[in-house]
Each structure stands twice: as C-alpha cells, then as structure tokens.
Structure 1
Amino acid sequence: MSNAPFGGGNPPVTPVALVTGGDSGIGRAVAVKLAEQGMDVGVTWHRDLAGAEKTAREVREKGHRCAVAQLDLADLPGGVDVIGALADELGRVDVLVNCAGTGTSTRLLDLEHSTVQQVLDVDLIGPFLCSQNVARRMIAQGTGGRIVNITSVHEHQPRVGAAPYCAAKGGLGLLTQVMALELAEYGITANSVAPGEIATPMTDQEDTDVAKVDRPGIPLGRPGDAREVAAVVAFLAGPESSYTTGASWVVDGGMLRMGPQAASHLTSDSWRRP
C-alpha cells in the first residue's frame, strides 16, 4: 500500500495500525502483515511481554516502527486509555484490529457470573470501547480509517460449552454492522473477520505445521494458519477495501458449510460435552 493515510495527506505520512492481542497467534501475524503493507504498528499484550517484544522485532525487521503496551481488557473502562497512549506515541491511528480475546469451556449450568462478565468484557465491551476511542481520533484526523474486529465462526454458529464466548462474538459481529453504518460518513469502514480453527496458542497448536494435521470434519482437511487470517485482515485494513464495510469475512476452511453433513455423520453423543 502507499505511505499515505486513507483520506490522502500532504505531505504523505506513514499509516499507523493498532493491534490488540498482538503478542502471539493471529495478532502477531496481523501486526507483521500490516508492517509488510507499509504501516507502523502498535501492539498490546496482556500476560506475554516476551511475545509482544518478539512481535515488535518482526515488525521492525520490516522497516517500520512498533510500540508495545500492556492492556487488560477486563480492567474497564480505564484500561482502554492504553489505546490512546499508543496512538499518541506513534503520532496518529488509521487502523484498529481488535484481536485480543478469551473464552471458556464450561457448560451453561455451571458458569459463574464472574466468568461470564470477564468474557463479555474482553470479547465485546473492550472492543467496543477501543473502537469508540479510535473512531473519535480518526474523525479528528479527517482522513478516514479502518476497524477490523476478530470474531469467530461462533459469531454465526453456537458451540457447546462456549455460551459467553458465543454471546460476545455474536454481539461483536452485530456491533460491527452498527459501527459500519454510523461511521461511514467519516470514511471509516468496519468489518469483522471470523476464523475457524486456527493453529495458535489459544488452540494449543503454537508453531504447528497445519499441513500435517488431519481434520476430516473441515472440507479443506486441516486447521488454518494465522497468516491466512492475517491476509484477509490486511485487505480489510488497506485502501483497496474502501467500498467494503459491514461484512463478516469467514476464514474457516469451509467449516460452517458442514452443518447438515456433521448432523448426519456424527456417531456418538460426545458432542454434548465441551
């Protein structure tokens, strides 16, 4: 992409992207991909400072600046101030990718309120507040921008044992559509990316060669690589997606298309347990 903000600029400036949860997995892949596309990058981390520093090194190896900050999305609303601080450090913000997330593997009847609240804060309320903070800055800059929310296939379909996660991701998907409507007049687009099974630390598959993993229930026969998700995010974060907003981009190897087949080919009741 060109080194210019989405609304132009004289003289041209290097665009800045902020990526939450950029210390590993999809977040790291997104940060590095956006640097390859010509952006300076700010990344947040929750517990893995070493991981965030590794991401920063990879971004800098691409020839771009990288700022790093700790962000706990369960500490709301104050924690979101970190997003503004990163934008200030890097001088502007043109892209926000809400990637940080958490989940559960607990049946509905066994869930505690505190667990539900934490998942909703991290996966829904946090991205809402981060987007609000960044959108206000983008409007003040007057050059438009991009917001990309990482949801999940569970934005669209439920999963046993993941009630708060599904509720949050479904909510984030619809929130993205409202954002697309309300922010369009400012040249800001909002889209969601809904990954299926991706080889990341969250799925206990860090550094896994996805070509060597057998997944018969996924049409493409394997999990996804985080870089395959990052490629879709990069398109939505760049100038070539200027007429694309309010959509959910599924990256799942065909998983969501398997509903009727899964129903007819299951051979036990094991799906009833997380």
Structure 2
Amino acid sequence: MRFQNKVAIVTGGAGGIGETTARLFAEEGASVVIADLSGKGQDVSDALNERGLETCYMRTDVTKEEEVIRMVKQTVQRYGRVDSLFAGAGIASDGPADQVDLDVWERTIEVNLTGVFLCNKHAIKQMLMQGYGGTIVNCGSVHSHVGKARVAAYAASKGGVEMLTKSTAVAYASKGIRVNAVCPGYIHTNLISGLDERIVNVLIGQHPIGRLGTTEEVAKAVLFLASDDASFITGTSLLVDGGYTAV
C-alpha cells in the first residue's frame, strides 16, 4: 500500500500500459484518475470500483491545454490533491523521414511530446501550490535512446520526452518534485497481438531476454519510480526492454 491516501493521474489509462498502471496504483491504495480520449476508460474505472478501489474516468485530450487544465482542476475538486502523474498517453507511427507525411509528423509530436509537456506543466503547477512535492513518470521508449530506420517521427517524439524529463527534473528537484521516465521495449499489447506472426517473431528476436514484455512489468517500474522507494532518483530513464538497447 505504497500509495495509500495518495492521488494519481494516469493518462492513456483506458488500455495497455496505462490501464495496468492505473490498476496497480489503485491496488496499492491510490485514488486514481483514468484520463483518456477513449470511453473504454469508464469501463476500466467501473471494473476497478466494483472491486472496492477508488477511481474515476475523465475524458481528456492531452494535446489541448484547456482539457489538461480541466483534468487537473477536476482531480483536485474530487480528491483534494495531485501526488503522482503517469503521462502514458501516446500513439505509434511508422516510416523513414522521406516517407512521413507532415500531418503524421505533427500528430505524433503533438500527442507524444506536447501532450506529455502539457500534463507535466499543469501537474507541476498544482504540486507547487500544494507545497509538498510529488512524482511524475513520463512514458518514453527504447526509441528515446536508439534509432531505428522506420520510426522517424516516433523516435523524435520519444527522444524529446527523454530530454523534457531531464530538464524538468533539474528544474524542480529542489521543490521535492521528482521527474523520471520509463522506457519500454516492445510490449505485448493488443497492437502487437494484431501483427503478423512473422513480424512478432522478428520483434521477439530483438530482445535478448527472448520474449516481449508485459504491461505489468512496465507498470511495476512506473510505480517504483513514483514511490518513496525511488526517493533519490530523478531525471533518469528506467529501461524496461529485455536487453533491447544493450545489443
């Protein structure tokens, strides 16, 4: 119960890593705001509430500042504070630089980087007003650290998350706000499940551990970074990648 009497916001909480992270936060005692564009977030919240856990769903477009401001404001109105943010909302995109349409580039940066920035910005504003610190975990990627031929926009966005995390961590460390990133390798989600088996096997082969990761493995890393167990850790990236970046 590391998060008993704490309040956590999880963006992208309607599925995948975000959904699992929201569940683990709630299971460890937090009141959890599940923020997502998808109405499935309500189903996730309802299922957790039926188990006696405290969650709510807030429809939020993280690329729109007014919606992020509203998300934080409504969280405080409902629960009184914000202790932790997991900025997990993101989208995938594919293609080398000469084949990426401008609208794909702009949308990828908008969701994966600008969305993380806006959530950091307004969570930090609230944490500063509260005066007792807080924790932020941003969702990076192995492609925050290594390039790949066909992920120009995605890698740029996730590389930006890495440096945003470091800069923000340095800026607010003296205020008791810790900012870190979790950087997953390829994780077994519904997106992966829909791929051709040959492609999945290629992805597995890129991880020395010999398999894809699970959402639970990433979510546990998020909770570690958000908890007092990581009280002397800020400005770092925790790679949860089965050895992908060690090759």
Normalising by structure 1, we get a TM-score of: 0.82
Once residues 163 and 31 of structure 1 are traced to their aligned partners in structure 2, the CA distance between those partners, rounded to angstroms, is 30
From 149, 168, 181, give the equivalent of 2:157: 168
Matched, 1:78 2:66: yes
Once residues 77 and 216 of structure 1 are traced to their aligned partners in structure 2, the CA distance between those partners, rounded to angstroms, is 40
Cα deviation, 1:238-261, whole Å, max 9, x if unaligned, reads 122111111100001111112xxx
Equivalent position of 2:81 in the other structure: 92
Once residues 246 and 172 of structure 1 are traced to their aligned partners in structure 2, the CA distance between those partners, rounded to angstroms, is 11
Cα deviation, 1:44-80, whole Å, max 9, x if unaligned, reads 122x31x212321343255332121112234x33232
The alpha-carbon deviation at position 92 of structure 1 amounts to: 1.1
Once residues 214 and 128 of structure 1 are traced to their aligned partners in structure 2, the CA distance between those partners, rounded to angstroms, is 30
From 130, 137, 140, give the equivalent of 1:151: 140
Once residues 212 and 86 of structure 2 are traced to their aligned partners in structure 1, the CA distance between those partners, rounded to angstroms, is 22
Equivalences for residues 218-237 of structure 1 within 5 A: 218-237=207-226
> Per the alignment, do residues 161 and 214 of structure 1 end up closer, same or farther by CA in structure 2, a change over 3 Å counting?
closer
Tell whether the 8 Å contact from 2:135 to 2:179 is kept in structure 1 after alignment. yes
> Per the alignment, do residues 53 and 106 of structure 1 end up closer, same or farther by CA in structure 2, a change over 3 Å counting?
same
From 83, 86, 106, give the equivalent of 2:95: 106
Tell whether the 8 Å contact from 1:69 to 1:82 is kept in structure 2 after alignment. no
Once residues 140 and 47 of structure 2 are traced to their aligned partners in structure 1, the CA distance between those partners, rounded to angstroms, is 25
The alpha-carbon deviation at position 2 of structure 1 amounts to: 5.0
Normalising by structure 2, we get a TM-score of: 0.90
Equivalent position of 2:34 in the other structure: 43
The alpha-carbon deviation at position 82 of structure 1 amounts to: 3.5
Cα deviation, 1:109-140, whole Å, max 9, x if unaligned, reads 12222221111110011111111101111111
Tell whether the 8 Å contact from 1:43 to 1:66 is kept in structure 2 after alignment. yes
Say which SS state the counterpart of residue 198 (structure 1) adopts: coil
Q: 229-238 or 212-221, which moves further after superposition?
A: 212-221
Cα deviation, 1:125-178, whole Å, max 9, x if unaligned, reads 111111110111111111210000011000001122211111110011011011
Paired AA for residue 83 in structure 2: D
Cα deviation, 1:216-249, whole Å, max 9, x if unaligned, reads 3321111011000011111111122111111100
Equivalent position of 1:27 in the other structure: 18
Paired AA for residue 129 in structure 2: A
Cα deviation, 1:92-122, whole Å, max 9, x if unaligned, reads 1100000000121123112222221111110
Tell whether the 8 Å contact from 1:146 to 1:188 is kept in structure 2 after alignment. yes
Matched, 1:196 2:182: no
Paired AA for residue 151 in structure 1: G
Paired AA for residue 21 in structure 1: G
Count residues with an aligned counterpart: 241
Equivalent position of 2:198 in the other structure: none
Tell whether the 8 Å contact from 1:213 to 1:222 is kept in structure 2 after alignment. no
Tell whether the 8 Å contact from 1:214 to 1:221 is kept in structure 2 after alignment. no
Matched, 1:181 2:193: no
Say which SS state the counterpart of residue 81 (structure 1) adopts: helix
Once residues 161 and 16 of structure 1 are traced to their aligned partners in structure 2, the CA distance between those partners, rounded to angstroms, is 38
Matched, 1:132 2:121: yes
Equivalent position of 1:68 in the other structure: 57
Once residues 125 and 95 of structure 2 are traced to their aligned partners in structure 1, the CA distance between those partners, rounded to angstroms, is 37
Tell whether the 8 Å contact from 2:100 to 2:153 is kept in structure 1 after alignment. no
Structure 1 vs Structure 2 CA RMSD: 2.1
Please list every run of 5 or more consecutive structure 2 residues that lacks an aligned counterpart in the other structure. Answer: 196-200
